[in-house]
Structure 1
């Protein structure tokens, strides 16, 4: 028999072991995709502005997550150590909150409560939503608050604490709910989960009240669940409605093309290929198609084993535990139903079904399963309609449970380490480290803006895929402008290399020579062909008789002024527009200029330009 004190010691050891594993995962990790989008927006907006905090990011309304990302970017721009520390701290808070919740749900079954905790701590369902910083800023606050609110409402409804403690639990639940909503709109699910958990906990702790041979519905668990925490439910309900209206008014979640058929396929893939194999610690195999996150590919035997375990546990608990059918109905409804809005927002005829196998949408489902396991642990044995709670489970059953739990935990560790290795296979971290060092070499100089490699962030994220956004808060970096006399670019590895202009169009030397410059007023440099309206880079050598300023422009574009120096030098200018000639004129009185061969195109690595 495990005592409450011994269970607390074991729980502390389990949480410590989980945090060691999670620390290893973040040590292997780095920024990825949406992380850079958050950093880019924090680098181009005031982090306290509504344009930043209220932005609908891929359909999500998450001002709290944006604020944390903004502060992190200000303190340690494009440095992984601070987000990594944030992840470990948030996970620690979530794990302790879940253990507190399990103790509230199953105070007299500490041994089986530890099994529920171990499932939450080590299931692969929570890994994908942890190691990805942007996703963790959504899901970890939701997990923390769901555990806090469920624990508070169960204590309020079942234990009916005195006035001061009751007010403290009510205020704490309301404040936590608001905080969770600031990070993730899916936290709206916390309210129905908390109500159902409180209902099932009260239902398991009471028996029906009979009046004249009929059930007294005034004393029914449903009625009492509401009445005993009426103030809390009404407050949370008001917040729920107000936040839903705010979310619908600000979010773009419903934009785009959606497909009912694809939604159904994605939900089934999430259940069959992600949730079910996780019940036996899977999947062990992960594959990554850069720049996508890792996707789990469980073996057929693991899917079958997951279904067998699920059916067996349901059958055993339904047979032996009072109230188990209702617990399982609500749990399975959440496991399936919570996937529907997410997959609907991601559905289209072109959406790959493997999206559902990334498992990043499942951390809250793992927590709901842990709640169900704790409720089942606390439920009395069903050996008659009016029996008291049964004694502790037999030694044989306990042994089977311990052995099975150890095997599933070991399996989950295999899956977790496999996921970590797959996540580690990403070019983003190396690129960012090289780019920071390269940009520091250009501190105080001017560079042209350029996108990060496709393997790091696709152009769909523009303008946050530009290096001026990703590295905008870095202290040692160049100024990003449209005029420079030294063309440097970052190669795909983030290293600084010599740049050149691609010869989309060319032009010949202007009249005169270096000895007798021929441009002393407005002139045109005819191009080898016409241009469509676009942003182009012009590169050419020149001779000037003095220091000064010249102006260049394309037809239909704004003029750009560029400094020139006396003698022979090179100049690179970015211009918008179209036409068949570059227009140039000296701005400085008396300045005369001669231009050599020139090119007009895109900046690129010199080694790749003929």
Structure 2
């Protein structure tokens, strides 16, 4: 009997040590960001997006391709519909998909860096600039922005990876995959239109060439997207640029006060109004600018022509980012918008990649890389935790919780829809800045503006307050019948008013009848059919229009109803 030869077991392949450290560099800020994000809540645009999702279908083109303040984002609206259908106004469920996209983007970026430059300790520094970036982590605590930026970053790195695969294999299927990544990015954020010039610059930095057919395919996709975008949106480009002084101040705030400090572990300051950041101390701003100049100059010394090309690509991207703000938002808001990191956060990964190319010939040793990464990580984490409370939307969280508890205790409550505090939704949302948009998706759902004998409105804390009367009323003139006022039967009774009613108001009517049943109100062009109960009652009815009389009739042969008092005004508690 012969012995059977056995093959030795293949050696266990362990990840490169540098990749293990990179996983830690990604995991630490991810966990910190996830904890901070889960302790936050919805705010501002979040409520409008989710409210529309709750009142639309997933295959409604008008919903998916709506013009939302200049954004066409069917992917975002489809995701909003899905999480709303799954768990309305559940913040935890809402943020899980974007956190997964954040993790996926970090993985794809490291994979790209390693494929480009190999397993180098020096790559940890640009990678940490991305993963720890307070500009990205702070701004994405706002859910409405996180569902734009993280899909953009995920698809950007996906497109770069597949384009790199194409350049190395020349297989056409990878061009198709790159185009699909681009389409996915465009579905969430129109800045994915910049993938084409980024990929072209990326190809030049690699010293490669791609056939004209590749760029033609990307160009056709870009042209189709531009045509779709132009056809579905109202142009936000303002006539006439702001003054030179305003533009210079905006650029200083965006680049010197926010972007550069944010790259190097800053901004070491407080949150400001909205998603903005307070201006850092002058010394820190000067230090960040000096480091930036040194990094650019050092890259040119080390990398030569490649570094010049890399910095040029980064400069062009940042110029486009800022130019878009200058021609759309700056005329409306002013230079303070430069303190909002949302308009430059997408330039952070471009900076990281361009910096890696500029210094690609430099071999940073492990101790030096470790020290720099730790310093950057500690500083950026400190900045982020300092900023984080500014986008937790505590006021909105408390408002919704208070209203939910009250409505759960008494589901019969009918609410008069009123504006909410500006900390929850800004006044420029107008009709969308109301309580119905904020709590309208709560279980029940809550009843708004329905005819009722008892009507309430939510105060600034979300507590229902009973409406007792109306302020500054237009009143019904005295009726012809003593103790009855106006007798409303099958024939229409007309109640003339003391003045004209214009706009949205609340009608308060006192009536009594021995026969319950439907009653029809005609108020100008509007008609309301309401079921009334027998006995002595008060009716509150939300009206909106222009009229100077109230016409009432009963559609069935029942005992007449007596209307003894009509007044229309703004509600008071």
TM exceeding 0.5 = yes
Contact 2:138 2:384 in 1 (8 A): no
What is the aligned partner in structure 1 of residue 184 from structure 2?
A: 179
What is the aligned partner in structure 2 of residue 357 from structure 1?
A: 339
Q: After the TM superposition, which of the residue ranges 39-48 and 539-548 deviates more from structure 2?
A: 39-48
**2:467 aligned with 1:485, yes or no?**
no
What is the aligned partner in structure 2 of residue 123 from structure 1?
A: 133
Contact 2:241 2:326 in 1 (8 A): no
What is the aligned partner in structure 2 of residue 312 from structure 1?
A: 294
Contact 1:269 1:353 in 2 (8 A): yes
What is the aligned partner in structure 2 of residue 573 from structure 1?
A: 541
**Could you list the per-position Cα deviations for residues 479-520 of structure 1 after superposition, in whole angstroms to 9, with x for gaps in the alignment?**
445411221222221122212332322347755577998544
Q: Which residues of 2 match residues 75-474 of structure 1 at below 5 A?
A: 75-107=86-118, 110-157=120-167, 160-161=168-169, 166-202=171-207, 224-227=208-211, 231-257=213-239, 259-261=241-243, 262-289=246-273, 292-322=274-304, 323-348=306-331, 350-378=332-360, 380=361, 392-393=363-364, 399-424=367-392, 426-441=394-409, 443=411, 446-474=414-442
- What is the CA distance between 1:272 and its match in structure 2? 1.4
Q: Quote the Cα distance in structure 1 between the aligned partners of 2:86 and 2:203.
A: 41
> Aligned to 2:16, what secondary structure does the other structure show?
helix
- What is the CA distance between 1:412 and its match in structure 2? 0.8
What is the aligned partner in structure 2 of residue 388 from structure 1?
A: none
**Could you list the per-position Cα deviations for residues 392-444 of structure 1 after superposition, in whole angstroms to 9, with x for gaps in the alignment?**
44x5xx64554333222211111100111222354112212223333445546
What is the aligned partner in structure 2 of residue 213 from structure 1?
A: none
Contact 1:434 1:493 in 2 (8 A): yes
Q: Quote the Cα distance in structure 1 between the aligned partners of 2:546 and 2:131.
A: 60
- What is the CA distance between 1:52 and its match in structure 2? 0.6
Shift of the 226–304 alpha-carbon distance from structure 1 to 2, 3 Å rule, reads same
What is the aligned partner in structure 1 of residue 468 from structure 2?
A: 500
Contact 1:553 1:575 in 2 (8 A): no
> Aligned to 1:502, what secondary structure does the other structure show?
strand
**Could you list the per-position Cα deviations for residues 150-190 of structure 1 after superposition, in whole angstroms to 9, with x for gaps in the alignment?**
22323433xx23x6xx3453332121111111111110111
Shift of the 263–437 alpha-carbon distance from structure 1 to 2, 3 Å rule, reads farther
| Match among 516, 525, 535 for residue 504 of structure 2 | 535
Q: Quote the Cα distance in structure 2 between the aligned partners of 1:81 and 1:191.
A: 35
Shift of the 468–424 alpha-carbon distance from structure 1 to 2, 3 Å rule, reads closer
- What is the CA distance between 1:132 and its match in structure 2? 1.3
Q: Quote the Cα distance in structure 1 between the aligned partners of 2:201 and 2:289.
A: 25
- What is the CA distance between 1:568 and its match in structure 2? 1.4
Q: Quote the Cα distance in structure 1 between the aligned partners of 2:411 and 2:560.
A: 31
Contact 1:39 1:70 in 2 (8 A): yes
Q: Quote the Cα distance in structure 2 between the aligned partners of 1:236 and 1:577.
A: 51
- What is the CA distance between 1:283 and its match in structure 2? 1.2
Q: Quote the Cα distance in structure 2 between the aligned partners of 1:514 and 1:78.
A: 50
Q: Quote the Cα distance in structure 1 between the aligned partners of 2:265 and 2:125.
A: 14
Contact 1:146 1:194 in 2 (8 A): no
Shift of the 579–330 alpha-carbon distance from structure 1 to 2, 3 Å rule, reads closer
RMSD over aligned Cα atoms: 2.7
**Could you list the per-position Cα deviations for residues 54-96 of structure 1 after superposition, in whole angstroms to 9, with x for gaps in the alignment?**
1111111111111111211221111211112122111111111
Q: Quote the Cα distance in structure 2 between the aligned partners of 1:526 and 1:441.
A: 40
- What is the CA distance between 1:51 and its match in structure 2? 1.0
> Aligned to 1:582, what secondary structure does the other structure show?
strand
**Could you list the per-position Cα deviations for residues 176-210 of structure 1 after superposition, in whole angstroms to 9, with x for gaps in the alignment?**
111111111110111211221222123xxxxxxxx
Contact 1:464 1:470 in 2 (8 A): no
Contact 1:270 1:356 in 2 (8 A): yes
What is the aligned partner in structure 2 of residue 221 from structure 1?
A: none
Q: Quote the Cα distance in structure 2 between the aligned partners of 1:578 and 1:63.
A: 38
> Aligned to 2:504, what secondary structure does the other structure show?
strand
- What is the CA distance between 1:144 and its match in structure 2? 1.0
> Aligned to 1:549, what secondary structure does the other structure show?
strand
What is the aligned partner in structure 2 of residue 48 from structure 1?
A: 59
- What is the CA distance between 1:359 and its match in structure 2? 0.2
Q: Quote the Cα distance in structure 1 between the aligned partners of 2:448 and 2:478.
A: 29
Which structure 2 segments of 5+ residues have no match?
Answer: 1-13
Q: Quote the Cα distance in structure 2 between the aligned partners of 1:579 and 1:487.
A: 23
What is the aligned partner in structure 2 of residue 220 from structure 1?
A: none
Q: Quote the Cα distance in structure 1 between the aligned partners of 2:484 and 2:451.
A: 25
Contact 2:121 2:369 in 1 (8 A): no
Q: After the TM superposition, which of the residue ranges 143-152 and 469-478 deviates more from structure 2?
A: 469-478
- What is the CA distance between 1:268 and its match in structure 2? 3.4
Shift of the 461–45 alpha-carbon distance from structure 1 to 2, 3 Å rule, reads farther
Q: Quote the Cα distance in structure 2 between the aligned partners of 1:407 and 1:201.
A: 31
Contact 1:539 1:572 in 2 (8 A): yes
Q: Quote the Cα distance in structure 2 between the aligned partners of 1:590 and 1:194.
A: 77
